[in-house]
Amino acid sequence: MSSADSAPAPEVFSIRAQRPATLGWALRLLRSAAVPPRTGALLRLFGRLQQVREQRTQLKLLVRRARLFTPDVADKVATLARSNPDGALEAFVTAFQRAHFELDEGICEQGFDFWADAAGEFIPLLVRGTDRCNGIDPLGYRPGYALQWALIQDVFNDDERHQVIAEVAETFGKALADRLEAAEPPAHHILCRRLARTRYVGLVAFSRWALGDVPTKNDILNLHAHHADELVIPWTHRGVARAARLIRDADDFQAPMLALARWLEHAPAEHGLLLVDAVIGRQDAKAWSRSAIQPCGSCGFPPDVHSGQEASSRQLFATLALHPGACAPATAPHAYPEEDPDDLDWQEPN
């Protein structure tokens, strides 16, 4: 037998030894686990653990409320409460607002320590009253509300009404703004007498809200944010039911003014003129008369709504098209929490 016959096959030596597939993964995991954590991460962890110790009682209350009002996320809140109080609060607030009603974001978004001080015992509700103590601020509302501000009794400071009229000009045109500049809006009681029994009643509701002539039993409408701590409703089933009723009543009170704002924005050039005529009288008349109250020739009067759900519905103007030549209204900060930014009357015309 020759040496060539007894030599092993060359491919035996060409095969390289390979590690098991899982070994490389295990080595990488071990290497990453051996890397010491960064100082910032450690400080944040220690800070959260210290917060857990200091806020133990409030965290237990948060978990208990989660089990009462948001049982679907109660286990998640309980788990987060052991190491991440801010995360536990965010999970609870998100679920609560989805299931019940909106809370005051000024309290909910400041972290758990702030929440424990401000909302540990009572529900932090979002109040809507105007600041009649320090002066009403009429600026920064959606266009339909800006026009309503310009038409109510002038109770503003300095040149605030002129600034409101400048906002009106952006959406409703300079001609209408110039007319408002030269006009004196009627006093509150005169405005109410003129429009209370008409389909422009939304402006009456707006004037009552702005000037504080609202139902005294509903502090959601009556109190401004800096008096929100006067609305004391406990975290109980009865308390949550009472808060929901107050919010629903406030929505219903403000429904006509929201419907009027949306109607104005649906066709600003046409509808803005009609509302101004209804409030201060026609330009070609010497004095105001009931004949100044006229509907739109294309879509009639503002919708007759009786609830916040109706006023914020996307079906409110579903059957109406924008007037010929009208443009979509400019957007402004939402002044009503239930309104839908995708609503049909806010869409660009074809």
Express each pLDDT in 245-255 by its tens digit.
999 999 999 99
Cα end-to-end distance, the chain, whole Å: 94
- Is residue 317 predicted with pLDDT exceeding 90? no
128 or 158: which leads in pLDDT = 128
User: pLDDT over 90 for what percent of the chain?
Assistant: 62
Band of residue 54 on the pLDDT scale cut at 50, 70, 90:
confident
Beta strands in the chain (DSSP E): none
Ramachandran assignment for 135, one of left (phi > 0), alpha (psi -120 to 50 degrees), beta (any other): left
User: Residue 273 has what pLDDT?
Assistant: 97
User: Residue 140 has what pLDDT?
Assistant: 86
Q: Tokens 């400048």 map to which residue?
A: 166
pTM of the full structure: 0.77
Nearest to 128 by CA among 310, 250, 305: 250
User: Residue 350 has what pLDDT?
Assistant: 39
How far apart are alpha carbons 284 and 301 in whole angstroms?
Answer: 21
- Is residue 347 predicted with pLDDT exceeding 50? no
Do residues 124 and 105 lie in contact, with contact meaning Cβ atoms separated by under 8 Å? no
267 or 54: which leads in pLDDT = 267
| Contacts of 34-40 spanning 24+ positions with Cβ under 8 A | none
258-276 pLDDT per residue, tens: 999 999 999 999 999 999 9
How far apart are alpha carbons 318 and 310 in whole angstroms?
Answer: 12
- Is residue 174 predicted with pLDDT exceeding 90? yes
Q: Tokens 């701590």 map to which residue?
A: 229
How far apart are alpha carbons 243 and 246 in whole angstroms?
Answer: 5
How far apart are alpha carbons 226 and 118 in whole angstroms?
Answer: 13
Q: Tell me the mean pLDDT in the region 28-38.
A: 58
276-305 pLDDT per residue, tens: 999 999 999 999 999 999 999 988 999 999
Q: Tell me the mean pLDDT in the region 125-131.
A: 93
User: Residue 318 has what pLDDT?
Assistant: 74
User: Residue 17 has what pLDDT?
Assistant: 54
Look at the chain and count its residues: 350
Do residues 115 and 206 lie in contact, with contact meaning Cβ atoms separated by under 8 Å? no
What percentage of the chain's residues is helix, strand, coil (to nearest 5)?
A: 60, 0, 40
Band of residue 213 on the pLDDT scale cut at 50, 70, 90:
very high
Q: Which of 16-20, 76-80, 137-141, 226-230 has the lowest mean pLDDT?
A: 16-20
Q: Which of 194-203, 318-327, 329-338 has the lowest mean pLDDT?
A: 329-338
User: pLDDT over 70 for what percent of the chain?
Assistant: 76
Q: Tell me the mean pLDDT in the region 129-139.
A: 86
- Is residue 158 predicted with pLDDT exceeding 60? yes
13-29 pLDDT per residue, tens: 455 555 555 556 565 66
